[in-house]
Amino acid sequence: MPDLAMVCALATVVCLFVCFGGATALFSDTDAGWHMRNGQWILAHRTLPLNDNFSFSKPGAPWIAWEWGSDVLMGSVERVCGLGGVACLFGLAIGAAVWMWFRLNWAAGGSFPLAAVFAVPMISTSSIHWLARPHVFGWLFLMATVWWCERACEKAKAKLTAAEACGIALASAVWANLHGSFLLGPAIFLIYAVGAGLAFALWGIRRSIAPYLQGALAAALGSLCNPYGWRLHQRVFTYLTDSALLRRVGEFQSFDFHSAGAGWVLAALCIGLLGGAAALSVRRPERFLLAVALTTAALISARSLPLAALALLPLANGSLTEALSLASGLRPQLRRRLDRALIYSDRLLGFDRKLHGFALVPLAAVLLFLGIRGHAAFPSDQIPVAAAERIAALPASARIFSTDKFGGYLIYRFPARQVFFDGRSDFYGVNFIDRYAWMFEARPGWRKEFERGAFSQVLLPPDAPLVAALEADGWDRLYSDRTAVLLAPRGDRLMARETN
């Protein structure tokens, strides 16, 4: 029989595909397209790309495929099982993240009822980035790192064993080859080391710093086991500290707290901060430091919101539960009710620990794949899926101006074609993105920049300013729907008619 963690994990996967349209919603970010095609290129050539293979705007430019492991995994699954297999892979990964979140609650000493309550803002916040992209794998490693540190604190470890050090190094190596968030691993170990030092300096509590420093060293050394060595660290750090570039990438902007459903996101951040304050009352400064760091990151960048919800809410549960159990000076009636609630929670946890439900996972995976294999697709209301049929008739050498979102889909749909722009913002850089924006928005002087690109067609959303500007210049529509417009110079349209 399944425990609470497994029940909620399976329920989340069902909700993802039934209520949230996961079979298509997972592919609403078309970066999944170039990830899959890059992985298949690596499998075909048995080497990593050193230069760009996807664009005609920067042909042959140096490129570091820093998530190559995820690319290979996604490409392999897509080749064998199609998009349904990829959707199933990420659905199970999201389910695994929910399962691990609950287990982290128990490792942090959290109560059963608070975990059930906190699950709602956690799922609401993390669902912002329920996408078929490598960052989902990074969530698992993030929570595993916090989980290990919490267990080390509970067991009062004096130092790491050789097996533990090797395990941390191996996990860090896998993480570094899957997603750029691997830098969080050593950082979390160091935060726990600082917390152990503060506990002694403030309250005289002796906690060994050694296991956390050793864990940070093992994680750092393990992350060097990648095809690029230290250059990968340099690349990721340079990208994440390039404020000029990040200002131009939507997912790195601050979250809009006035949007629909933002209340749950705000609740998650408030609970995380409340837990950080409670952590000081129970003399766990490392939890407070982690709450400050991740909440700050979440306020700056929406991309960090799931990280804060997944890592901080379990710690908040543990800190609040301990603070409530130690609270003194309360009214006797309130104290008795609180004690009964805590005892009831312990009984529930005791019962829950006897259950697991792992046998349901293979069955759930098979049923999930059978249920979605014919429905997984890129969403046609956001991606030019219908327009692709018209694009297929264009010459392979066509130079199509399009958005980065459309470009990711074109790479997936037409692997042999090269695109103008896609979602690899770290590769294209600030100057390129500014040039693209200048043309897309049809700012004064855009024609000179546009003519330099020698574009033969344009594929853009119907409301793009450049569409109206080009039509005023004599470009005609080869195809048009509510999602995309395909334009070409008027002479090209006449030639196309004569050919047909």
Confidence of residue 308 (pLDDT cuts 50, 70, 90): very high
CA neighbor of 254 nearest in space, from 139, 122, 425, 128: 128
pLDDT at position 16 over 70: yes
- CB burial class (10 A; 0-12, 13-18, 19+) of residue 249? middle
Task: Label residue 499 by pLDDT band (50, 70, 90).
Answer: very low
Q: Which residues, in sequence order, are bridge partners of residue 402?
A: 459
DSSP 3-state of 248: coil
- pLDDT surpassing 70 at residue 65: yes
Tokens of 332: 């006797």
Model pLDDT, residue 497: 35
Comparing CA positions, the residue from 36, 77, 51 lying closest to residue 412 is 36
Mean pLDDT to the nearest integer, 129-137: 97
List, in order, residues 6 or more apart from 231 with CB less than 8 Å away.
Answer: 64
Q: What pLDDT is attached to residue 261? A: 87
Q: Decide: 104 and 143 in contact? Cβ < 8 Å.
A: yes
Is the per-residue pLDDT at 496 higher than 50? Answer: no
The full set of domain ranges for the chain reads 4-366, 387-499
Q: Which residues pair with 139 in a beta bridge?
A: none
Count Cβ atoms below 10 Å from residue 155 Cβ, excluding itself.
9
Mean pLDDT in residue range 282-288: 96
Residue 403 has pLDDT above 90, yes or no: yes
pLDDT digits over 232-270, tens only? 999 999 999 999 999 999 889 999 999 988 999 999 999
pLDDT category at 494 given cuts 50, 70, 90 is: very low
pLDDT of residue 492: 54
pLDDT at 155: 84
Stated pTM of the model: 0.94
pLDDT tier, 91 (very low <50, low <70, confident <90, very high otherwise): very high
Residue 50 confidence (pLDDT): 93
Residue 285 contacts residue 202 (beta carbons within 8 Å): yes
What is the tens place of the pLDDT at every residue in 340-381? 999 999 999 999 999 988 998 999 999 999 999 889 999 999
Q: Is the pLDDT of residue 201 over 90?
A: yes
Say if residue 498 is exposed, middle or buried (CB neighbours under 10 Å; 0-12, 13-18, 19+).
exposed
For the chain, count helices (H), then strands (E): 22, 4
- Mean pLDDT, to the nearest integer, of 38-60? 95
